[in-house]
Amino acid sequence: MKSIQLKIWPEIENYCQALIPLQKIPEDKQNSINIDFSYAKSLNSSGLCILIIGLLKQIHTAPGRSWSIIEPVNSQITDGLKKLGLMEILDSYINVKTIFWSEAEKVDIMVPYSYLNSNLNKTISYPIYRLSYKDDRRGCIQAFKDWLFLILEPIFKTYHFPRSNFIAVLNELAKNGADHTVTDAFFGIDLMYLEGGSAVKLCFSFGDLGHGLNENVKLHLSNDDEYRNRSKHLSLSDAYHYALIPGKTTRPASKDNKGIGMSIVFDVARAINMELSVFDANSRAILTNAQDRTHAELRKVFYNTGADVGFYYYGEIISKVK
């Protein structure tokens, strides 16, 4: 039986992978699958994080298949894929046939990968961080915060970088993920030094293997008397508007969840001049462009992507040297 070639879009950078969905694997066949990285030409952690989530979702829909990886022609990309943890993560879900990685090459999440990016800026990318919610939700999020405090220390010391508030946004995204899925979440972060180091740009992506905010809100509202009839027809901006109403949560019975998560994400990201996008269903919203949380403002910041792109957050922030 002929293998299916799952061709990876050449740019594995920033949010590019969120806009180009992976080819859908037919669920009713048993063909083996080749993940084809042949002509991958650029790579960073935030881009790879989104790709990994997409791949893992495909793996869930096509269990029991035989998976192989076709190496990139560019050896620097091969090196980056190893150091950022692609193989280690895939290997923990499926047995992937490859000759370019062995167990001995496991990554240390404290060790960054340094290189010149496609714009020739000195860049430091950290290995993809995996949050496994099912073991210890609270401990897993605390470990994630502790790791962020450590890796961001050098930037915090040298640049006007709002470390704690930056981490606060990610903390809320992680908590939201933990509230809505028992699967894993993934995080990628890149530090690009601009103008000879006089500024630094941080890019990150975050996503999990759950349904995404839109689906969660719709599911929740289908059980709500006030919204039941409207829930099927809610637009994406309606769903996000609901999530941003003070105290609204899809976990009303939870003592831990006070319904403030999305308010913090929205307000803090705006306050620290982060540009935060969410990719959900057929849209991208640049949440931080909304001047307030009204429905009218939120509608302005949603853009149609033309295809279902999954569910990811992508953010950028630039800080100047002290």
Nearer to another protein, 19 or 264 (CB): 264
CA-wise closest residue to 304 among 274, 284, 319: 284
* Site track for another protein across 66-85, x = CB under 8 A: --------------------
Q: Does 318 bind another protein (CB under 8 A)?
A: no
Residues 6+ apart with CB under 8 A from 150: 110
Instruction: Give, for 216, the enclosing helix (H) or strand (E).
Output: helix 213-221
Q: Does 289 bind another protein (CB under 8 A)?
A: no
* DSSP three-state, residue 114: strand
Member of 271, 303, 304, 307 binding another protein (CB under 8 A): 271
Residues 6+ apart with CB under 8 A from 245: 293
Nearer to another protein, 78 or 319 (CB): 319
Member of 75, 142, 198, 291 binding another protein (CB under 8 A): 142
Q: Does 260 bind another protein (CB under 8 A)?
A: yes
Q: Does 160 bind another protein (CB under 8 A)?
A: yes
Under rule CB under 8 A, how many of the chain's residues touch another protein?
A: 25
Q: Which stretch binds another protein (CB under 8 A): 39-47, 67-75, 225-233, 267-275?
A: 267-275
Give the separation between CA 300 and CA 66, rounded to whole angstroms. 44
CA-wise closest residue to 81 among 121, 52, 58: 52
CB of 263 to another protein, least distance (A): 5
The separation between CA 166 and the C-alpha centre of its own chain, rounded to angstroms, equals 15
Site for another protein in 163-182 (CB under 8 A): 163-165, 167-168, 171
What order of strands is seen across the sheet that includes strand 67-70? 4-7, 33-36, 67-70, 96-97
Q: Which stretch binds another protein (CB under 8 A): 40-48, 138-146, 194-202, 276-284?
A: 138-146
Q: Does 48 bind another protein (CB under 8 A)?
A: no
Could you tell me if 291 and 318 are in contact, meaning their C-beta atoms sit under 8 angstroms apart? no
* Site track for another protein across 230-249, x = CB under 8 A: ----------------xx-x
Q: Does 17 bind another protein (CB under 8 A)?
A: no
Member of 263, 277, 283, 288 binding another protein (CB under 8 A): 263
42-43 and 11-12: which strand pairing? parallel
Which residue type occupies 267?
D
CB of 290 to another protein, least distance (A): 13
Give the separation between CA 139 and CA 162, rounded to whole angstroms. 24
Structure token pair of residue 196: 């000879």
Nearer to another protein, 113 or 161 (CB): 161
311-320 and 199-208: which strand pairing? antiparallel
Residue 287: DSSP 8-state: G
Residues of this chain that bind another protein (CB under 8 A): 142, 145-146, 149, 160, 162-165, 167-168, 171, 246-247, 249, 252, 258-260, 263-264, 267-268, 271-272
